[in-house]
Structure 1
Amino acid sequence: MAEPLVAVLAAGRGRRFGGGKLEAECAGKPLGRWALEAAEKAGLRPGVIVTGPEGASFAEGWGILVNREPDAGLGSSLALAARAAFEAGEGSLLVLLADMPLVDAAYLRELASTAAPAATRHPDGKPGVPALLDRTLIAEAMALTGDRGAGPLLAGASLLDAPVGTLRDVDTPEDLAELVRLLNR
């Protein structure tokens, strides 16, 4: 089975955070770097990171795709990543969010080696990211718009359970402070 292209979505404005969320320090490194390092520790090749026009200083070693209209929503960022995967002839696309710093490397490896399509079962039972899209879903994802991500595309995907606590995302400064306390224990 061919290794998927990894795409980390990082174009959100971080309004609830007050901006600059992914560049904020989290236990010694930028918050956005954690998800990239999890993919690297999983043995996956660095892929692409979809950023807003401001870029991402933490994305060293990764390809950059710039979403010039990040206010168009998560769907627009996923569509850019899907287009890059489709045009490169990739057979699968592993999608992560940059504001989920606790994503587990071993879990990413398991997900990447699962037959696509596959998704993470979230606490509400619904499929979500991290997710592995097959070529058919990559083509469908190219048409996404607005704030709808991959969820609707993943209705028939195999569901995997991530380790407890690893799906936490950071939306506010308080979320980051709580995460730093957790990491510094």
Structure 2
Amino acid sequence: MGMKVAIAVLAAGRSTRMGSFNKLLSRFGEVPLVQLSITQAIAAGRGPVFLVTGHMADEIREAISGFPVTIVHNSEYASGLSSSIRTALRVIPDDCAGVLIHLADMPLVTEIDIAAISDAFICNEGGVVVRATACGKPGNPVVLPRSLFSELSLLEGDTGARGLIAASEIPVIDVEIGRAASYDVDTPEALEAAGGFRPSR
């Protein structure tokens, strides 16, 4: 295998708009959403997969038990998204040229999407940022090169890397994956529309 891209699946959030229910434990068929996200990341086969836990960490860990994934806990998850990115960066192996950040609440992102985004990064020898787009608008996942890791580790609050990407001089490659790049299940309505449901027990 040539250049590797680590995949960090972020599953630490509190899903506050779902009330007391953690959306990552919602079901798509018989599969919890977090397991679906992990499965797609593993199937893409572009590098090691990491899961960042936070809220309800034990339940999330149980939902992906037995999968070849390294779990890393973000004890500062309540401070927002940036803390999960920082947590992931601390465990990315030295032989990975970058990290693909995949939000675990995006059920329409497939292994094909993850592979295509990773391959665009690999084809450009790891010297670019690659982001998924939905009808031309930036979305997720996004691949961040190792050259940005030190700056990414300084992010704070409930913010991703978008501002940092815009401020850097690193070229950005967009990969169009359609609606999947912008569709998350933040509300019960969005969950239902995506084909998911809240288990009765």
User: What range is the shorter-chain TM-score in?
Assistant: 0.7 to 0.9
Larger Rg: 2
CA distance in 2, matches of 1:102, 1:46: 21
TM-score normalised per structure 1: 0.86
Q: Contact conserved, 1:128 with 1:154, CA < 8 A, in 2? A: no
The equivalent position to 1:108 in structure 2, one of 110, 114, 131, is 114
Matched to 2:43, the amino acid is K
Matched to 2:35, the amino acid is R
TM-score normalised per structure 2: 0.80
- Matching residue of 1:3: 4
- Matching residue of 1:136: 147
Q: Contact conserved, 1:49 with 1:64, CA < 8 A, in 2? A: yes
Q: Contact conserved, 2:134 with 2:180, CA < 8 A, in 1? A: no
Q: Contact conserved, 2:44 with 2:114, CA < 8 A, in 1? A: yes
- Matching residue of 1:174: 189
Q: By how many angstroms is 1:159 displaced?
A: 1.4
Equivalent residues in 2 for 1:67-78, closer than 5 Å: 67-78=74-85
Q: Contact conserved, 2:51 with 2:71, CA < 8 A, in 1? A: yes
CA distance in 1, matches of 2:82, 2:163: 11
1:58 aligns with 2:58: no
The equivalent position to 1:118 in structure 2, one of 126, 130, 145, is 130
Instruction: Tell me the secondary structure at the aligned position of residue 50 of structure 1.
Output: strand
Matched to 1:173, the amino acid is P
Instruction: Tell me the secondary structure at the aligned position of residue 4 of structure 1.
Output: strand
Q: Contact conserved, 1:83 with 1:139, CA < 8 A, in 2? A: no
Provide the aligned length of Structure 1 versus Structure 2. 177
CA distance in 1, matches of 2:30, 2:68: 19
Q: By how many angstroms is 1:128 displaced?
A: 3.7
Q: By how many angstroms is 1:150 displaced?
A: 1.5
Gaps of 5+ in 1: none
1:95 aligns with 2:101: yes
The equivalent position to 2:39 in structure 1, one of 37, 40, 45, is 37
Gaps of 5+ in 2: 197-201
- Matching residue of 2:87: 80
- The alignment-based identity, stated in percent, is 33
Q: Contact conserved, 1:6 with 1:48, CA < 8 A, in 2? A: yes
- Please identify which structure carries the higher helix content: 2
Q: Contact conserved, 1:4 with 1:91, CA < 8 A, in 2? A: yes
C-alpha change, 1:123 and 1:72, in structure 2 (3 Å) is: farther
Matched to 1:166, the amino acid is A
Matched to 2:16, the amino acid is R
CA distance in 2, matches of 1:118, 1:128: 10
Where has structure 1 moved over 3 Å in runs of 4 or more?
none
Please give the per-residue CA displacement for 1:117-140, whole angstroms capped at 9, x wherever unaligned: 211224573x34211111112222
Q: Contact conserved, 1:82 with 1:138, CA < 8 A, in 2? A: yes
Equivalent residues in 2 for 1:129-168, closer than 5 Å: 129-155=140-166, 156-162=171-177, 164-167=178-181, 168=183
